[in-house]
């Protein structure tokens, strides 16, 4: 007997049934009703045709993961011993193309079949599709009485993501993150089939990356010599991520958020660490923006883009552009002097030229720009039409961006900012909340629809996907697992399978997902990711019994 | 030169100066301006007069801690190499009494002197005072260029707590906590000089403790055989805590919050797991209260109090009594039948007799009762006058309780509930916040004054202290460190040194404490407690530069 399932009939039924374990849920699948086991400590995975280093390493990794993992679903706490009608014979992977580029054209689709006789096949257009299939395969295995099983065989899965861009932003400037914690985050992203690490690598608070064009930047701007990512470290992280089908998009936020630059070259800065009234000059202390009138600042931007365009191999280069403070420049003596002598200029026009220069640098270095929404919507930066714009201030910004014909990545803070809701972090407050209260819990994240108020297909096509964002005022590697997981996984599924149905009962949809995200949380725990609990274990084990009557 | 400091001149000056590291800050101290070092890998600590096992173990523990700890204060990130004018010669401990009781009479005062010639003396009335002194001593050591120093010698400290009860509540029912995580929590409490672990050991969700009077309770009510605290485990934890001057007060919450009891004996229960409208019967699912008309329920309470009065050695026994739901009993068939035949009875009068029976059991077992505020303030339970009442619903409850002549432990949720602010946890919500939003950040906790609106000395004397509370709907041992620390430490200092000055600028007072709690957070990290960051490291290193201009 074979049951046909698809997203169209997502419901409570799925939660406790076939493929409940797989996160994000595959697009289309059919399942049967027998079980096969994995009889030995050996799993044979072979490639039919040509392989490559990335796929070979992925195979080794997933072999080890599947053989070492002993995942018991939380709903199986008192389950009877399973019987197997067959055993896994081996896995054959077929990849149609040799393309190993990671970009917006990467085809992550795959099919996965588990037959009753124990043969398993993964077919994909690309290496990265095959890696997604291996991840799904790993999540099919569950432990029962010390043995490993795949349940509900035969299984046929056809899977592919709805959105091409499924990202997570990590801010390594406000607090430092060890390479180990970044790699652990990349691991968890790969378990969730996310594909972009947006690395907000520098900001005002510290400059934790080696800069060959000015070694003072990290020597003076990093929190310490042990808190610097060398070029070698960056390349190591990029390769580690690429092995898992994850792009690393760097963000070098200019011209605002650059206090740390001033530690090595105060001459190219405006409003450097104004105190105590920093709030007139910046969104956060310490204040400081590149002095946009100074040739040195333009030169800094040029060198920066050149060096890091080479170091970061991704086609996309994020140049920030959020929260620039015009007052900072209006009060700057050099800019005031310039304006006094150039009556047709304004701070805005100077800034506009500065931005044009940044984008020209990107073009020279063959990069596609990415920027925060202000650069487009405030009308100063005029980013080139191929720039990807990241919405954060409002859900409505997503609409505004596509209406202007730009591609958009959605990370509206009301849904996607994982740092929110943990109180103020300034030193002298005994009362108050974080600016973006409340805490974004997984169900709220999951309920976000990046297509809201966008109906025209051409405009929908401009919505590349979205990101969860973790700013690090109140986080660092000590708490990163708990703050990201499983909440980031809610976004991962949203962007893989597509948003919830806005017309259907949203609470009901969340209820149906709840047992699955709980199960995924326990899988993450088993894989060494300290994901936070969402409920009492009693509720995890009793789906439907911890509902608010609505 | 000797500087005189005391709480009266607390200010920014202290933050970067002498004894900034010690948390909670000692009551009175003087410091000098020379440094001594710890020259070898050996530290001699001797007891002048009689010792005892508890003190001997504490000495071994602190020797090891001091020798193995390499704590570099975050403000010392670029400090010059220190010079020592002498070396630690050894520590002499003198304890005046042999009393090793841990109760409200325990004298935790101590003096600690570090002389310029390197001799160190701790004098205390009790073993536990000496242990507090050892903790302070351990926090005097800082690392510099690979060497250990005590700065600002000579040091004279006279220290004692303002409040006798400085507690932390852990809920091990909604989610389970391993013994290791409980011990780690006890460690961190001892570093903060807290002295009560309020162990909310059972609740509706699970019954994780061995019950010899009815082994079914844990066999059926625990989350699993690996999630049960045996009698031996409990004794181990009590002894571990006692070694650190921490009492373990158990809470067996009756008659509400008892669904898990119904798994073994549904006959003594009312409104057991009513679905879906559990909210008419309980504050949380699953519903279930002891059936207060049933002799079996009275017998259950009697057996419970008897067994756990013996197991838990503390004089105080918390019997819960929060959030009882009268509707649960009004709808109960047995109670309805009883009321139909006993026209002078009411649910309230039956409940009142049930409570009287509980308190009679406590008396038989020579225990002092403790209860949540509803038991007193709702006028049904009539707890004996020596009962300690725990306020949680409102700060004003503290006043109401002392006005009635009862001793109070303050844990108003608006300040002390560390689980708040992380979104709803029920399964079917895509929107909303936790009922007790927002998140309680450390500065807000620190600003609480349990004496508010209490002016009469006799009433003030009834305020024993307070507790931070971690309910476990959304926490377990994976996240416990981050949720407790350093926020619980804010409460620890509040109850050790006394509350902030309500008439002085509250924000300024918080600002002065900020560098110190940050420093303590880093000390906790070094000791293996995964405390969360409160700020960007830049702010930690630059006190006064991350203030909101007010």
pLDDT in tens, A255-272: 999 999 999 999 999 999
Instruction: Establish if A547 belongs to a structural domain.
Output: no
Measure the CA–CA gap between A187 and B304, rounded to whole angstroms. 47
Q: How far is B68 from chain A (nearest CA, A)?
A: 21
For residue B21, what pLDDT is reported?
85
Between the alpha carbon of residue A382 and those of residues A355, A363, A379, B376, the distances in Å are 8, 14, 6, 67
**A chain contacts of residue B444, beta-carbon cutoff 8 Å:** 423, 430-431
Residues A233 and A148 both lie in one domain: no
Q: Nearest by CB to B422, which of A277, A441, A479?
A: A441
Q: Are B188 and B23 in contact (CB under 8 A)?
A: no
- Indicate the DSSP class of residue A159: E
Residues B289 and B313 both lie in one domain: yes
Measure the CA–CA gap between B282 and A388, rounded to whole angstroms. 50
Instruction: Establish if B8 belongs to a structural domain.
Output: no
Instruction: Establish if B143 belongs to a structural domain.
Output: yes
Q: Are B177 and B222 in contact (CB under 8 A)?
A: no
Taking residues B196-211, report their average pLDDT. Answer: 98
Measure the CA–CA gap between A74 and A142, rounded to whole angstroms. 11
Taking residues B412-418, report their average pLDDT. Answer: 98
Catalytic residue among B135, B284, B307, B323: B323
Residues B48 and B179 both lie in one domain: no
Average pLDDT over chain B reads 95
**A chain contacts of residue B176, beta-carbon cutoff 8 Å:** 537
pLDDT in tens, A76-89: 999 999 999 999 99
SS3 label, residue A108: coil
Q: Are A536 and B205 in contact (CB under 8 A)?
A: yes
pLDDT in tens, B17-29: 567 789 999 999 9
The residue segments making up the domain with residue B383 are: 165-541
Half-sphere CA count of B506, side-chain side, radius 13 A:
14
Q: Nearest by CB to B433, which of A438, A447, A478?
A: A438
Tokens of B538: 């830049």
For residue A18, what pLDDT is reported?
64
Residues B121 and B259 both lie in one domain: no
Who contacts A8 (Cβ-Cβ below 8 Å, separation ≥6)? none
Who contacts A321 (Cβ-Cβ below 8 Å, separation ≥6)? A253, A254, A255, A256, A355, A371, A372, A374, A375, A381
**Secondary structure (DSSP) of B34-93:** EEEEE-SS---EEEES---HHHHHHHHHHHHHHHH-----GGGTTPPPP--SEE--EEEE
Instruction: Establish if A109 belongs to a structural domain.
Output: yes
Q: Do B430 and A472 touch (CB under 8 A)?
A: no
pLDDT in tens, B45-61: 999 988 999 999 999 99
Q: Is the pLDDT of residue A4 over 50?
A: no
Instruction: Establish if B335 belongs to a structural domain.
Output: yes
For residue B50, what pLDDT is reported?
85
Last residue in a domain, options A133, A159, A185: A159
Tokens of A372: 């925060």
| Partners of A166 in beta bridges | A466
Number of structural domains in chain A: 2
Tokens of A131: 């890696």
Measure the CA–CA gap between A385 and A382, rounded to whole angstroms. 9
Residues A169 and A89 both lie in one domain: no
Q: Is the pLDDT of residue B174 over 80?
A: yes
Residues A344 and A368 both lie in one domain: yes
Residues A184 and A204 both lie in one domain: yes
Residue of B261, B536, B537, B539 best to disrupt the A interface, most CBs of A under 10 A = B536
Q: Do B174 and A536 touch (CB under 8 A)?
A: yes
For residue B312, what pLDDT is reported?
98
Q: How confident is the model at residue A41 (pLDDT cuts 50, 70, 90)?
A: confident
Catalytic residue among A64, A280, A307, A323: A323
**A chain contacts of residue B506, beta-carbon cutoff 8 Å:** 430-431
Measure the CA–CA gap between A312 and A326, rounded to whole angstroms. 30
Q: Nearest by CB to B510, which of A429, A447, A514?
A: A429
Q: What is the CA A104 to chain-centroid distance, rounded? A: 14
Who contacts A474 (Cβ-Cβ below 8 Å, separation ≥6)? A419, A422, A423, A425, B532, B533, B534, B535
The least confident of A106-110, B75-79, B193-197, B418-422 is B75-79
Residues B410 and B515 both lie in one domain: yes
User: What is the CATH number for A129?
Assistant: 3.30.379.10
Q: Do B428 and A530 touch (CB under 8 A)?
A: no
For residue B18, what pLDDT is reported?
64
Q: Which helix (H) or strand (E) holds B492?
A: helix B487-497
| Nearest Cα residue in chain B from A259 | B538
Tokens of B380: 């049904």
Instruction: Establish if A8 belongs to a structural domain.
Output: no
Q: How confident is the model at residue B41 (pLDDT cuts 50, 70, 90)?
A: confident
Measure the CA–CA gap between A464 and B344, rounded to whole angstroms. 71
Residues A207 and A109 both lie in one domain: no
β-strands A28-38, A3-6: how paired? antiparallel
Taking residues B98-118, report their average pLDDT. Answer: 96
Closest among A315, A509, A488 to B431, alpha carbons compared: A509
List phi, psi (to 5°) of B358.
Answer: -60, -50
Residues B240 and B288 both lie in one domain: yes
N-to-C CA span, chain B: 36
| Partners of B467 in beta bridges | B167
Active site residue B323: yes
Q: CB count, 10 Å around CB of A268?
A: 23
Q: Do B421 and A422 touch (CB under 8 A)?
A: yes
What is the helix, strand, coil percentage profile of chain B, to 5? 35, 20, 45
Between the alpha carbon of residue A10 and those of residues A511, B308, B428, the distances in Å are 11, 48, 15
Q: How many residues does chain B have?
A: 550
Cis peptide before B438 (omega within 30 of 0): yes
| Nearest Cα residue in chain A from B204 | A538
Write out the E strands in A262-360. Answer: 269-270, 289-290, 316-318
Taking residues B165-178, report their average pLDDT. Answer: 98
Q: Which helix (H) or strand (E) holds A251?
A: strand A247-251
Q: How far is A534 from chain B (nearest CA, A)?
A: 5
User: What is the CATH number for A408?
Assistant: 3.20.20.80
Taking residues A12-33, report their average pLDDT. Answer: 78
SS3 label, residue B369: strand
- Indicate the DSSP class of residue B268: G
Between the alpha carbon of residue B163 and those of residues A515, B20, B403, the distances in Å are 45, 21, 19
Cis peptide before A452 (omega within 30 of 0): no
Q: Nearest by CB to A447, which of B205, B430, B475?
A: B430
| Nearest Cα residue in chain A from B442 | A430
Measure the CA–CA gap between B145 and B74, rounded to whole angstroms. 14
Q: Do B548 and A77 touch (CB under 8 A)?
A: no
Residues B23 and B80 both lie in one domain: yes
β-strands B196-200, B165-171: how paired? parallel
Tokens of B178: 């391993």
Measure the CA–CA gap between B188 and B492, rounded to whole angstroms. 11
Last residue in a domain, options B159, B183, B211: B159
Residue of A425, A536, A538 best to disrupt the B interface, most CBs of B under 10 A = A536
Q: Is the pLDDT of residue A14 over 80?
A: no
pLDDT in tens, B479-511: 999 999 999 999 999 999 999 998 999 999 999
Q: Are B206 and B223 in contact (CB under 8 A)?
A: yes
| Nearest Cα residue in chain B from A526 | B478
**Secondary structure (DSSP) of A40-56:** SS---EEEES---HHHH
Instruction: Establish if A154 belongs to a structural domain.
Output: yes
Give CA torsion, residues B370, B376, B380, B385, to 10 deg.
Answer: 70
For residue B42, what pLDDT is reported?
87
For residue B509, what pLDDT is reported?
96
Who contacts B271 (Cβ-Cβ below 8 Å, separation ≥6)? B281, B282, B287, B288, B289, B325, B328, B329, B331, B332
pLDDT in tens, A144-194: 999 999 999 999 999 999 999 999 999 999 999 999 999 999 999 999 999
Q: How confident is the model at residue A377 (pLDDT cuts 50, 70, 90)?
A: very high
The percentage of residues in chain B with a pLDDT greater than 70, rounded to a whole number, is 97
Count of CB pairs separated by less than 8 Å, A with B: 240
**A chain contacts of residue B277, beta-carbon cutoff 8 Å:** 549
What is the helix, strand, coil percentage profile of chain A, to 5? 35, 20, 45
- Indicate the DSSP class of residue B3: E
Closest among A4, A19, A34, A185 to A519, alpha carbons compared: A19
Nearest-10 crossing angle of helices B487-497, B179-191:
40
pLDDT in tens, A49-82: 889 999 999 999 999 999 999 999 999 999 999 9
For residue B2, what pLDDT is reported?
40
3-state SS track over B105-174:
CCCCCEEEEECCCCEEEEEECCHHHHHHHHHHHHHHEEEECCEEEEEEEEEEEEECCCCCEEEEEEECCC
Last residue in a domain, options B139, B159, B179: B159
- Indicate the DSSP class of residue B417: B
Residue of A175, A430, A539 best to disrupt the B interface, most CBs of B under 10 A = A430
For residue A12, what pLDDT is reported?
37
Average pLDDT over chain A reads 95
pLDDT in tens, B1-12: 344 443 334 433
Q: Nearest by CB to B439, which of A77, A423, A525?
A: A423
Instruction: Establish if A50 belongs to a structural domain.
Output: yes
State the residue for tokens 């349990």: B450
Residues A173 and A312 both lie in one domain: yes
């Amino acid at each position: 007997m074979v049951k046909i399932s698809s997203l169209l009939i997502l419901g409570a039924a799925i939660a406790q049934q076939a493929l409940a374990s797989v996160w994000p849920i595959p697009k289309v699948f059919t399942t049967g009703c027998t079980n096969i086991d994995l009889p030995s400590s050996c799993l044979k995975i072979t490639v039919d045709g040509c392989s490559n280093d990335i796929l070979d390493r992925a195979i080794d990794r997933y072999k080890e993961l599947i053989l070492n993992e002993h995942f018991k679903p939380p709903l199986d706490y008192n389950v009877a011993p399973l019987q197997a009608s067959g055993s896994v014979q081996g896995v054959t992977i077929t990849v149609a193309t040799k393309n190993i580029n990671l970009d917006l054209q990467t085809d992550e689709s795959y099919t996965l079949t588990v037959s009753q006789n124990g043969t398993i096949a993964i077919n994909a257009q690309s290496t990265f599709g095959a890696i997604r299939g291996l991840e799904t395969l790993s999540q099919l295995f569950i432990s029962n009485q010390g043995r490993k099983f795949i349940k509900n065989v035969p299984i046929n899965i056809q899977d592919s993501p709805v959105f091409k861009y499924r990202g997570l932003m990590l801010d390594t400037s406000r607090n430092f993150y060890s390479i180990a914690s970044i790699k652990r985050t990349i691991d968890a992203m790969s378990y969730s089939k996310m594909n972009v690490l947006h690395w907000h690598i520098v900001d005002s608070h510290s400059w934790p990356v080696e800069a060959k064009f000015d070694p003072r930047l990290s020597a003076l701007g990093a929190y310490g010599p042990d808190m610097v990512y060398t070029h070698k470290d960056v390349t190591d992280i990029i390769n580690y991520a690429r092995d898992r089908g994850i792009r690393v998009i760097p963000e070098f936020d200019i011209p605002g958020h650059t206090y740390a630059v001033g530690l090595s070259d105060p001459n190219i800065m405006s409003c450097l660490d104004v105190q105590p009234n920093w709030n007139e000059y910046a969104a956060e202390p310490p204040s400081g923006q590149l002095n946009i009138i100074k040739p040195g600042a333009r030169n800094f931007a040029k060198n920066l883009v050149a060096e890091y365009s080479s170091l970061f191999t991704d086609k996309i280069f994020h140049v920030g552009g959020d929260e620039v403070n015009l007052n900072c420049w209006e009060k700057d003596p050099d800019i005031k002097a310039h304006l006094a002598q150039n009556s047709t200029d304004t701070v805005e026009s100077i800034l506009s030229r500065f931005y044009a220069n940044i984008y020209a640098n990107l073009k020279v270095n063959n990069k596609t720009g990415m920027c925060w929404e202000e650069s487009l919507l405030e009308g100063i930066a005029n980013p080139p039409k191929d720039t990807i714009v990241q919405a954060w201030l409002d859900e409505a910004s997503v609409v505004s961006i596509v209406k202007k014909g730009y591609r958009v990545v959605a990370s509206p803070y009301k849904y996607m900012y994982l740092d929110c809701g943990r109180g103020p972090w300034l030193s002298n407050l005994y009362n108050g909340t974080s600016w973006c209260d409340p805490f974004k819990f997984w169900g709220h994240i999951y309920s976000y629809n990046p297509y809201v108020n966008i109906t025209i297909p051409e405009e929908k096509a401009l919505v590349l996907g979205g990101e969860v964002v973790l700013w690090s005022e109140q986080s660092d590697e000590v708490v990163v697992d708990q703050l990201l997981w499983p909440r980031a996984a809610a976004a991962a599924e949203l962007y893989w399978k597509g948003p919830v149905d806005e017309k259907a009962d949203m609470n009901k949809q969340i209820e149906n997902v709840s047992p699955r995200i709980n199960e995924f949380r326990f899988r993450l725990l088993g894989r060494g990711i300290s994901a936070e609990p969402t409920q009492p274990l009693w509720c995890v084990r009793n789906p439907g019994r911890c509902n608010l009557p609505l």
